[in-house]
Chain A
Amino acid sequence: MTIRRRTFEILEGEVADKASRFCEIFVASLVVLNVLAIILESVHEIHEAYRTFFHYFDLFSVAVFSVEYVLRVWSYAEKFKASGGSSWQGRKSYLFSFYGFVDFFSTVPFYLQLLMPGTDLRVLRMFRLLRIFKLSRYNSAMDDMFEAIKSERDSFSSAIFLLFISCLLFSSLIYIIEGHDQPQVFPSIPAAMHWFMMTIISGWGNVDPVTYPGVVLVVVTQIMAIALAAILTGVVSTAYTAQVARRESLYEMQIRAVLADGVVSDEEAEHLKSMQAKYGMSDEQVEAIAAQVRAEKGQ
């Protein structure tokens, strides 16, 4: 096994061994400390008192993250080696992935500052905050969310479309009905759209209507706001439920396949274990599925 292959395995967490575990924990805790530092730094007194400390800490973190980035680019050549892909194919897949961008933009702007000292520090700090996304590599929650949204994208888009249509209709109606009476609140449809969005988000647009049709319209909008919130929540919860169900059935199939020959080898047990970890399933869930499969077999 080459050093490059080994580096790739450690960074990617492909095998469950101590080195990759350690590397994961080290990077994750450094990211957490970084985020804490950014938050504390924004408090004026703390910044004044520990200025040099924060500076050296940032230097250290940038050094670590730079090494991590370079190592990743270098070692990702191995990604498609097994299936006969070229080195740059693997590197490209990392460089242009979500995490590739996060790693790049959370680190490299620091060097920009060294080259051009005049850069706005606030922009730089904003880029530093991107480091928090490095954490999501070690947690599948964000992937889960995106996957759930992707699988239900039609429902999401239709909910958004509904929001869009109702925003347009209601804000235009309130502008037409109340625009003459309250020109300071509804001077134009864009201003009325602001009112509508406030109503949808917080449930109360902070404007009392002065005409009777206006009262009716505000009441309808209020009820509409609840309905829209309910629809969005409903879509999200269905997407999540479907996602969990899909995973459980995938896992169940795997268990069936494993139990089919009656013997559970170490390798199979290991595989099931890693699948459970990947899907974030609890031991109870797994036990329930296994018991069900066993009961079916026993029949």
Chain B
Amino acid sequence: MIASSQKTVMEILDGSPSQPFSRYAEWLISIIVLVNCTAVILDSVPEIHAQHKDFFHELEFWSVMFFTFEYLIRVWSLGAKTPLNPWKGRREYMFSAFGLIDFFATMPYYLHVFFPLFDLRILRVLRLLRILKLSKYNTALQDLFTAVYSERRAFGSAAFLLLIATIVSASLMHFAEGHAQPEHFGSIPHSIYWSIITITSGFGNVEPVTKGGEVIAVLTGFLGVCMAAIMTGIVASAFANQMSRKKASYMAQLRQVLADGVVSDTEREALKRLQVQFRLSDTEVQTMMDQAAMAKGDPS
């Protein structure tokens, strides 16, 4: 009895499609997270804070109660993941990224209760971690990270390029302008800040005053455009690669299904699930189906 309800609760919290309630749980948690973030934002406006102080306090208290309850129930229910050794599943959750987010977004409140002198600002930062709870429900975001992660080598070399460009332009700028504007380019670390601003925005926070400085500033700004182009290219190709990978594996599945000439219900179900998982539109699937059918019908 307990074991089965434990499993049900786990499935609901995990967003398993077999549990209709998982949708509502997802919605409830998302709405409370959004309300919380709005409250943190509004609370920072001094006038609003002065007027609704008590309300925000109440809201924070009840949200913490809710999230604590959610955390405890998650820890408890994830015992069902590994029935033989319940603490294994629980440990897995507690030390996963989402488990840590859930923990650190909630528990510091109690720290504050026990040690009232604790720095409030750190507490507020940790409260904002709650927004990351939402990313659990956004699978497209995880896709995006996979796409970016698969191109990490390219990103690494872009970052390396950025590093070199920053250091070179910062040192050149220090030599060119260090005497003229010691308050901005007095040391290389100091001019590094200027370089990064110029490379990323194409426009520095400090105007150069010497001829040499001007030339370096223009070149640095131009480098920034190149950096942006490189990054964009990498991301775009990462997405395109991910897309073609998905299509290729869907196509392979489709070929296999069509190979024996009959499409059984289970096969159709599997294809449907794959389509949802890969986020392919109906037209795309239709096109691929036609292609596969045509390839089969082709005698060559």
Name the interface residues of A143-187: CB closer than 8 Å to any CB of B. Answer: 151, 154-155, 157-159, 161-162, 165, 168-169, 172-173, 175-176, 179, 187
Alpha-carbon separation in the docked complex, A104 to B86 (Å): 65
Binary contact readout B135-160 vs A (1 if CB under 8 angstroms, 0 otherwise): 10010110110001000000000000
Cβ-defined contact, B128 with A238, below 8 A: no
| Distance of B6 from chain A, by nearest CB (Å) | 32
Cβ-defined contact, B131 with A235, below 8 A: no
> Given the known A-B contacts A168-B37, A222-B196, A225-B200, are A162 and B144 also in contact in the complex, defined by CB atoms under 8 Å?
yes
Cβ-defined contact, A154 with B236, below 8 A: no
A253 interface residue, CB < 8 Å from B?
yes
A85 interface residue, CB < 8 Å from B?
no
Alpha-carbon separation in the docked complex, A204 to B221 (Å): 13
Cβ-defined contact, A155 with B125, below 8 A: no
Q: Which residues of B contact A233 (CB under 8 A)?
A: 232, 235-236
Cβ-defined contact, B125 with A168, below 8 A: no
Cβ-defined contact, B144 with A230, below 8 A: no
Cβ-defined contact, B140 with A203, below 8 A: no
Contacts between chains A and B (CB distance < 8 A), count? 137
| Distance of B58 from chain A, by nearest CB (Å) | 20
> Given the known A-B contacts A187-B46, A204-B197, A230-B232, are A241 and B240 also in contact in the complex, defined by CB atoms under 8 Å?
yes
Q: Which residues of B contact A258 (CB under 8 A)?
A: none
User: Which residue of chain A is the closest to B125 with respect to CB atoms?
Assistant: A176
User: Which residue of chain A is the closest to B128 with respect to CB atoms?
Assistant: A172
| Distance of A295 from chain B, by nearest CB (Å) | 11
User: Which residue of chain A is the closest to B242 with respect to CB atoms?
Assistant: A238
Name the interface residues of B188-243: CB closer than 8 Å to any CB of A. Answer: 193, 196-197, 200-203, 205, 224, 227-228, 231-232, 234-240, 243
Cβ-defined contact, B131 with A168, below 8 A: yes
Max count, chain A CB within 10 A of own CB: residue among B143, B203, B235: B235
A188 interface residue, CB < 8 Å from B?
yes
Which bracket fits the contact residues of B?
35 or more
Binary contact readout A192-220 vs B (1 if CB under 8 angstroms, 0 otherwise): 01000001001110001000000100110
B82 interface residue, CB < 8 Å from A?
no
User: Which residue of chain A is the closest to B193 with respect to CB atoms?
Assistant: A215
> Given the known A-B contacts A203-B202, A204-B205, A249-B291, are A155 and B140 also in contact in the complex, defined by CB atoms under 8 Å?
yes
Beyond contacts A154-B279, A230-B232, A253-B287: 18 other A-B pairs, Cβ-Cβ < 8 A, are: A151-B281, A158-B143, A159-B144, A161-B135, A168-B37, A172-B40, A172-B41, A172-B124, A172-B128, A179-B44, A187-B46, A204-B200, A234-B239, A235-B239, A238-B243, A242-B243, A246-B284, A249-B291
Q: List 15 A-B contacts (CB under 8 A).
A: A157-B138, A158-B144, A165-B134, A179-B44, A188-B44, A188-B46, A190-B44, A193-B41, A203-B224, A222-B196, A231-B144, A233-B232, A238-B239, A242-B243, A249-B287
Q: Which residues of B contact A (CB under 8 A)?
A: 37, 40-41, 44-46, 121, 124-125, 128, 131-132, 134-135, 138, 140-141, 143-144, 148, 162, 193, 196-197, 200-203, 205, 224, 227-228, 231-232, 234-240, 243, 279, 281, 283-284, 287, 290-291, 294, 300
Q: 3 shortest A-B CB distances, which residue pairs?
A: A203-B201, A234-B235, A158-B140
